[in-house]
């Protein structure tokens, strides 16, 4: 089944980490892709700029701002399916700039669903995050787990999820809320833990600055995340649902760091950097997701083990041009 073949698809946040990989996956699935990128004076298309010319030539680029309802509506004209990924995601930045998270994550999602309702879009996939669950009250975390806003970022994503769900319930908008767990891989932002560790090691550091080593995460390789999005889009039975994409496993930050150190520079040691610590009540100590619903309604399964995913990620960062895009010597908020 290839429901997306020949469909006109809009990806917001296409210039970002997961969005750029999703663009590639949708092109492979035969979709006609319009990539919504953040307008800026540098005319940068983010990670799409790193694509080969023949791939970029297949894309329709729309530069805009998800916070602006007029631009969002213009971008969605003539579109069949919307994958809404545009968001602010860094947790430390949300501590001191929460207003921007409400504007981007909540109002941006409202702009998407309002335009989708008016334009009668066939499917809308709104991207959530495992952070909405907070520290696990039970495992594996399924979609019925309580929401716990442990950071302004998490609160903004809970708000965005609720806006999307309300449009399904109020107006029968064909919305699905897609909730990836801890996605990693090539092109990931330096504010995430795996690029933080790899870039420090690749830059020759013998001491690795990290925050709390106790939390566990359900690490999902980005190509598996992309296939989850596509499988969900192809299942009409998931309209009106929220759906986890997870490996249903966990690893501690300490064990993860030790594995990366072993692979890249066994002489390196870990140092606690207090500025990287979240406030105690804000730290999410355990994320371990259930993928039962996704597997019930689709044929999705993980294709990458953690070992395979880390190997491919390390290989990508080993390219000097890729590594040069990162500032390994500072704390990336």
How high is the pLDDT of residue 125?
Answer: 98
pLDDT tier, 1 (very low <50, low <70, confident <90, very high otherwise) = low
How high is the pLDDT of residue 113?
Answer: 98
How high is the pLDDT of residue 289?
Answer: 98
User: In percent, how much of the chain has pLDDT > 90?
Assistant: 90
- Average pLDDT (285-300) is 98
**How much is the mean pLDDT over the chain?**
96
Whether 52 has a pLDDT exceeding 80, the answer reads yes
**Beta bridge partner(s), residue 217:** 251
pLDDT tier, 205 (very low <50, low <70, confident <90, very high otherwise) = confident
CB 65 within 8 Å of CB 100: no
Q: Are strands 60-64 and 81-84 parallel, antiparallel or unpaired?
A: unpaired
Whether 89 has a pLDDT exceeding 90, the answer reads yes
- Average pLDDT (53-69) is 98
Whether 18 has a pLDDT exceeding 70, the answer reads yes
- Average pLDDT (220-246) is 98
CB 98 within 8 Å of CB 111: no
Q: State pLDDT tens for residues 98-124.
A: 999 999 999 999 999 999 999 999 999
Whether 83 has a pLDDT exceeding 90, the answer reads yes
Indicate left, alpha or beta for 12 from its phi (over 0: left) and psi (-120 to 50: alpha).
Answer: beta
Query: Rounded to two decimals, what is the model's pTM?
Result: 0.97
Q: State pLDDT tens for residues 128-169.
A: 999 999 999 999 999 999 999 999 999 999 999 999 999 999
How high is the pLDDT of residue 330?
Answer: 78
How high is the pLDDT of residue 191?
Answer: 84
Domains for the chain: give ranges and CATH numbers: 8-181+222-247+289-302 (3.40.50.720)
- CA gap 125, 83 in Å, rounded: 5
pLDDT tier, 79 (very low <50, low <70, confident <90, very high otherwise) = very high
Closest CA to 181 of 231, 124, 133: 133
Indicate left, alpha or beta for 297 from its phi (over 0: left) and psi (-120 to 50: alpha).
Answer: alpha
Sheet with 123-127: strands ordered across: 60-64, 32-38, 8-12, 81-84, 123-127, 175-180, 242-245
pLDDT tier, 190 (very low <50, low <70, confident <90, very high otherwise) = confident
């Amino acid at each position: 089944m290839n429901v997306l073949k020949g469909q006109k698809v809009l990806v917001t946040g296409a210039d970002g980490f997961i969005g750029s990989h999703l663009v590639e996956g949708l092109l492979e699935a035969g979709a006609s892709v319009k990539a919504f990128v953040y307008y800026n004076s540098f005319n940068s298309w983010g990670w799409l700029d790193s694509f080969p010319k023949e791939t970029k030539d297949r894309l329709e680029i729309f530069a805009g701002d998800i916070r602006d309802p007029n631009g969002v509506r213009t971008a969605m004209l003539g579109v069949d399916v919307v994958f809404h990924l545009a968001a602010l995601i860094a947790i430390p930045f949300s501590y001191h700039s929460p207003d921007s998270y409400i504007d981007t994550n909540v109002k941006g999602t409202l702009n998407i669903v309002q335009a989708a309702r008016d334009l009668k879009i066939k499917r809308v996939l709104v991207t959530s995050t495992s952070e909405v669950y907070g520290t696990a009250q039970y495992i594996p975390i399924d979609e019925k787990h309580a929401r716990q806003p442990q950071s302004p970022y998490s609160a903004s994503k809970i708000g965005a999820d609720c806006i999307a769900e309300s449009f399904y319930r109020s107006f029968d908008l064909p919305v699905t809320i897609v909730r990836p767990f801890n996605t990693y891989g090539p092109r990931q932002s330096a504010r995430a833990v795996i690029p933080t560790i790899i870039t420090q090691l690749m830059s020759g550091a013998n001491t690795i600055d990290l925050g709390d080593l106790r939390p566990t995460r359900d690490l999902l390789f980005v190509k598996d995340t992309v296939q989850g999005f596509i499988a969900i889009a192809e299942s009409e039975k998931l309209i009106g649902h929220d759906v986890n994409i997870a490996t249903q496993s966990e690893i501690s930050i300490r064990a993860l760091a030790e594995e990366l150190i072993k692979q890249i520079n066994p002489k390196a040691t870990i140092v606690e950097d207090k500025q990287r610590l979240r406030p105690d009540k804000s730290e999410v100590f355990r994320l371990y997701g259930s993928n039962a619903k996704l597997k019930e309604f689709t044929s999705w399964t993980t294709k990458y083990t953690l070992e395979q995913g880390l190997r491919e990620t390390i290989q990508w960062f080993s390219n000097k041009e890729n590594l040069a895009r990162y500032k390994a010597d500072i704390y990336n908020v």
